[in-house]
Amino acid sequence: MRTAVFMDRDGVLNRPLIREGKPYPPASVEELEVLPEVGEALAALKAAGFCLVVVTNQPDVARGTAPADAVSAIHDRLQATLPIDGIFTCPHDDADACECRKPRPGLLRQAAGRLNIDCAASFMVGDRWRDIEAGRQAGCTTLFVDRGYAEPEPSRYDHRVASMSDAARIILRSRHRA
């Protein structure tokens, strides 16, 4: 089985749009800005043998405020520019009560099944409590990217970091100790 680094998209890989202290996804490829340290961090993780998987809630699709093709175009751009093995998306809202919407672990488990991933040996990097809780429920080591949003932070996580670069350093150190 493979070891993975699961990552949220907005706020971890790309710059979110901040309104009243809360993060929002880019609406189009034109608004997509990959954070400066992300390419190098993912390249180092990939070189160390990790499977790199994006797991992202995109409820604006269900809400009708973002077309599914715009979300797909953003994902196509990310896959074209970053060494990502897969992107798994939940297009639902909370009211849909689906298993794939974080904080439920459905997206991580779906990716694990398709990509032969051992969740217990893997990592989840996220910038919101939903990401961290999904990672915990899937059995991953969790890394909370603290962006200082005006919203509750996760109640429990394994590591607090400031960026994907910091997360990659911790993950790579843990690999060397194993």
Q: Is 15 helix (H, G, I), strand (E, B) or coil?
A: coil
Pairing of β 22-24 and β 17-19: antiparallel
Q: Is 94 marked active-site?
A: no
First to last CA, the chain: 16
Q: Which residues pair with 10 in a beta bridge?
A: 14
Candidate list 10, 60, 131, 166, residue with the active-site label: 10
Instruction: Give the contacts of 28 (CB within 8 A, at least 6 positions apart).
Output: 70, 73, 74
Would you mind telling me the total number of residues written for the chain in this entry?
A: 178
Q: Is 10 marked active-site?
A: yes
Query: Catalytic amino acids?
Result: 8, 10
